[in-house]
């Protein structure tokens, strides 16, 4: 599959464009995925059983309750391992924390941080550290496929999709693997609203917006909707608009988007004071550093 061609060839049908993040934004799936799928596999594959309480706290901080919420899974491993090495409760137990030098190098070299790229790298290098990382990632996907289903969109999402239908070209902008994204949107019968689903395999969220939308639409007619700072950064990197879905206040945010945000977007009054007030609120919601 030529993912780049898929993005660049996306046809403009309307004057407006919206990119939706999926996990934790459209679907209330972040908590179950991170707590029941990602974290147990993190503890298992990286030998953190003797400090599972602290490892879990670190994993949840990185992926749910801080400014790295929603980041790519391999960047999350990098950040979580660094925090494990720095946490005295873990080092006091004499654990041999995993080396991440091969991961660090791969992250610098590779923009499409997903299982296909990692599988190819493991085949080419036979690096043991990357083999362990791939085993972790594969098991995460298996657990998600087994456990995460029956999760509807947040209340208010369908209202926004209906308000945008016939006016907006809509895609998913996500770091979740494509298989899971397609399954979740189809399961909830809302995939018919979409012009494309961009997942982990397509590259970064910044690249999704760049290749699908930038240059095809006016910058003030492109909106990214997301629940994590990475979504905001992707919008900023492309000079387009951002609407935050604040963790813990999702229903309120979707209602606000439908009742007033879309009006600002369609009327050309979104950027400036309105967007700034939303972003300031969002910034306060997630801390940069842990409390421990």
Q: CA distances (Å), 159 to each of 29, 149, 223, 227, 248, in order?
A: 19, 22, 17, 18, 19
Q: Is 204 helix (H, G, I), strand (E, B) or coil?
A: coil
How do residues 93-111 score in pLDDT, each as one tens digit? 999 899 999 999 999 999 8
H helical segments located in 110-243:
115-125, 128-147, 157-164, 178-187, 205-212, 229-237
- CATH of region 3-28+153-285, choose from 3.40.50.1000, 3.40.640.10, 3.40.50.300, 3.90.1300.10: 3.40.50.1000
Low-confidence ranges of the chain (pLDDT < 50): none
What is the pLDDT, as a whole number, of residue 92? 94
Q: How far apart are CA 54 and CA 50, in angstroms?
A: 9
What is the pLDDT, as a whole number, of residue 157? 98
Q: How far apart are CA 199 and CA 221, in angstroms?
A: 22
Of 51, 20, 18, 55, which is closest to residue 35 (Cα–Cα)?
Answer: 55
Instruction: Indicate the domain borders of the chain.
Output: 3-28+153-285, 30-147
Query: Distance between terminal CA atoms of the chain?
Result: 45
Q: CA distances (Å), 160 to each of 6, 29, 225, in order?
A: 25, 19, 11
How do residues 6-55 score in pLDDT, each as one tens digit? 999 999 999 999 999 999 999 999 999 999 999 999 999 999 999 999 99
Question: Is residue 96 within 8 Å of residue 114, measured between CB atoms?
Answer: no
Q: pTM of the entire structure?
A: 0.85
């Amino acid at each position: 599959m030529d993912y780049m061609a898929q993005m660049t060839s996306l046809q403009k049908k309307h004057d407006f464009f919206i990119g939706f993040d999926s996990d934790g934004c459209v679907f209330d799936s972040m908590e179950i995925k991170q707590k029941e799928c990602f974290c147990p596999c993190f503890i298992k594959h990286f030998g953190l059983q003797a400090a599972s309480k602290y490892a879990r706290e670190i994993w949840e901080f990185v992926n749910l309750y801080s400014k790295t919420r929603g980041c790519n899974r391999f960047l999350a491993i990098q950040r979580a391992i660094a925090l494990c090495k720095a946490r005295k409760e873990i080092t006091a137990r004499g654990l041999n924390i995993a080396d991440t030098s091969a991961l660090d190098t791969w992250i610098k070299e590779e923009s499409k941080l997903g299982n296909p790229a990692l599988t190819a790298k493991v085949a080419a290098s036979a690096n043991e550290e990357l083999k362990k990382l791939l085993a972790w990632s594969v098991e995460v996907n298996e657990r998600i496929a087994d456990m995460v289903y029956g999760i509807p969109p947040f209340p208010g999402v369908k209202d926004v999709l209906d308000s945008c239908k016939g006016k907006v070209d809509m895609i998913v902008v996500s770091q979740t693997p494509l298989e899971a994204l397609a399954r979740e949107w189809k399961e909830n019968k809302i995939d018919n609203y979409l012009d494309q689903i961009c997942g982990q395999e397509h590259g970064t969220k910044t690249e999704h917006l760049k290749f699908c939308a930038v240059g095809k639409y006016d910058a003030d007619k492109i909106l990214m909707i997301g629940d994590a700072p990475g979504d905001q950064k992707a919008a900023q990197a492309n000079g387009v608009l951002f609407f935050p879905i604040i963790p813990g206040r999702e229903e309120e945010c979707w209602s606000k988007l439908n009742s007033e945000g879309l009006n600002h977007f369609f009327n050309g009054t979104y950027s400036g004071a309105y967007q700034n007030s939303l972003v300031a609120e969002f910034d306060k919601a997630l801390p940069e550093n842990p409390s421990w």
